[in-house]
Amino acid sequence: MKEQIRAKFEAYRDEMLEDLAALVAINSVRGTTTEKYPFGEAPAKALELALAQGERMGFTTENVDYYAGTIDLGTTERMIGVLAHLDIVPAGQGWASDPFTLTLRNNRLYGRGVVDDKGPVVAALYGMRILRDLQVPLNKRIRLILGTNEELGSACMKYYAEHRPIPECGFTPDADYPLINGEKGNFLTILSFPNESTPVRSIQGGEVFNAVPAFCEAVLDGKQVDLDALRASVNTADTLGFQPEFSRDTDGNIHMITRGFASHGSLPHLGKNAVVSCALILVNYLGRSAGKMLRFVAESIGRETDGRTLGLKSEDALSGSLTFNLGWIRYNADEQKLGIDIRFPISLSLADMTSIYRKMTETHKISFEISSASEPHYVPRDHEVVKRLMAAYREVTGDEQAQPMVIGGGTYAKKLGKNFVAFGPDFVGMESTQIHNVDEHISLERFLDHCVICTMGMMRLAMD
């Protein structure tokens, strides 16, 4: 069967790439909400186009109030779902070719959305067409669900789940192969410290929870801090090799810039935190007069990315260790706050996590508020949806060693509940596809592999 499916994809290749090109041409970044379009006009246009492509092939389609859309193969009540999205992140500057023109170069497809997630939309659509062409007997309807707001909150799927039936199981081709069957819980909080008068006027570092800050700027009172002494006090171990930059402004205040290395907030050990560097330098120099918040960062967080000293460390065999990222700092005359991004293992519940965290904040006499949080997501390895999709992956790739993974980042799968996993399209360990970056691309060969695996996966889930 996989050979027949591959041959069909090869036969449809040019038509499929034309459909993909038409979708890539729409800059479907979220726009202004209007009465008709919840996420602005461009995502709505991309949705209309994808539904028109499905209709052209003779499928039943529905526009779910411009939040989402559906394309169905079959009419049975029981159905499986494939969840993909048509919105994109901004293209950014510096592409080698126009991001909105699908470009084939060195056997690679370039364009914003070719991997995330317009390519997978088209792959699933043609997969459904091919299953129909080959008259594969299916006992369940296959529903391709198209979202338009994955990149900025997934309100599309919340709306879908409230207004339309959720398929009994399924997958989202919006992450990595071989398969992601679990996601750690998210626990994003803001820690607030009492305002204190210190020689520090302000500190600004990091903008979001889910990234390791690579830049931090502190302004210090020029009368209370001696620039030469501060400079001389800097310990290279506290800067991870990035020399801080000092300057004095016209008011006589001292500016200190520390730098580091960004990384995703779910992988803080891969980054170098510039805010932590700033705190280590200032606490080393100022001692107790650095104030409570900076001492908390320097002494209780430090370079740890598992919250060990804070008593938060937790791990399990399936999902590994809790991760702790200090994402941002706000320090000025009005507020002293830290933004913390924690991903906790699947063996903890959100209630467990909250009570452990509360205890920590009580110990340190600081207050916190939850910015956003979610339970872990886990579909057991012996669940049918995992077994069948892994079988499809192994059959096409021949990779018998591959095992399902639990990750710290979030995927679209969780939005439709406990029987959904993430499956492709990115092949871990192969050439980077530059998702969310400039020159997003996938090799034609890998894309075709993805098309076949996705189709085999849909088939196996829908057959009985």
Which residues are annotated as catalytic? Answer: 87, 150
- Binding to Zn ion, residues 366-395 (CB under 5 A): none
Distance of closest approach, residue 115 Cβ to Zn ion, in angstroms: 8
Build a one-symbol-per-residue string for 32-61: x at contacts with Zn ion by CB under 5 A, - elsewhere. ------------------------------
Distance of closest approach, residue 235 Cβ to Zn ion, in angstroms: 42
Distance CA 158, CA 294 (A): 39
- Binding to Zn ion, residues 167-226 (CB under 5 A): 174
Distance of closest approach, residue 211 Cβ to Zn ion, in angstroms: 17
List Cα–Cα distances, 101 to 154, 310, 328, in angstroms: 26, 50, 36
Secondary structure element (H or E) that encloses residue 83, with its range? strand 79-85
Choose between 112 and 343: whose C-beta lies nearer to Zn ion.
Answer: 112
Choose between 80 and 88: whose C-beta lies nearer to Zn ion.
Answer: 88
Residue 426 binds Zn ion, judged by CB under 5 A? no
Choose between 116 and 183: whose C-beta lies nearer to Zn ion.
Answer: 116
Choose between 116 and 238: whose C-beta lies nearer to Zn ion.
Answer: 116
- In our burial notation (b when 16+ CB lie closer than 10 A, e otherwise), range 425-458 reads bbbeeeeebebeeebbbbbeebbbbbbbbbbbbb
Asked if 171 and 415 count as a contact pair (C-beta separation under 8 A), the reply is no
Choose between 147 and 205: whose C-beta lies nearer to Zn ion.
Answer: 147
- Binding to Zn ion, residues 148-177 (CB under 5 A): 174
Paired tokens of 357: 């965290």
Distance CA 151, CA 165 (A): 23
Distance of closest approach, residue 435 Cβ to Zn ion, in angstroms: 7
- Binding to Zn ion, residues 89-148 (CB under 5 A): 116-117
The pairing of strands 254-259 and 320-321 is unpaired
Distance of closest approach, residue 168 Cβ to Zn ion, in angstroms: 23
Q: Is 226 exposed, middle or buried (0-12, 13-18, 19+ CB in 10 A)?
A: middle
Asked if 378 and 413 count as a contact pair (C-beta separation under 8 A), the reply is no
Choose between 174 and 439: whose C-beta lies nearer to Zn ion.
Answer: 174
Distance CA 28, CA 10 (A): 28
Distance of closest approach, residue 130 Cβ to Zn ion, in angstroms: 23
Of residues 226, 239, 193, 144, the one with CA closest to residue 334: 193
Distance of closest approach, residue 85 Cβ to Zn ion, in angstroms: 6
Of residues 121, 133, 88, the one with CA closest to residue 20: 121
The secondary structure of residue 333, as a DSSP letter, is: S
Of residues 54, 46, 51, 62, the one with CA closest to residue 128: 54
Choose between 13 and 158: whose C-beta lies nearer to Zn ion.
Answer: 158
Distance of closest approach, residue 257 Cβ to Zn ion, in angstroms: 34
Residues in contact with Zn ion, total (CB under 5 A)? 3
Distance CA 100, CA 225 (A): 52
List Cα–Cα distances, 361 to 143, 192, 292, 296, in angstroms: 46, 10, 13, 11
List Cα–Cα distances, 18 to 104, 119, 120, in angstroms: 12, 11, 14
Choose between 28 and 61: whose C-beta lies nearer to Zn ion.
Answer: 28
Q: Please give the residue ranges that form the binding site for Zn ion (CB under 5 A).
A: 116-117, 174
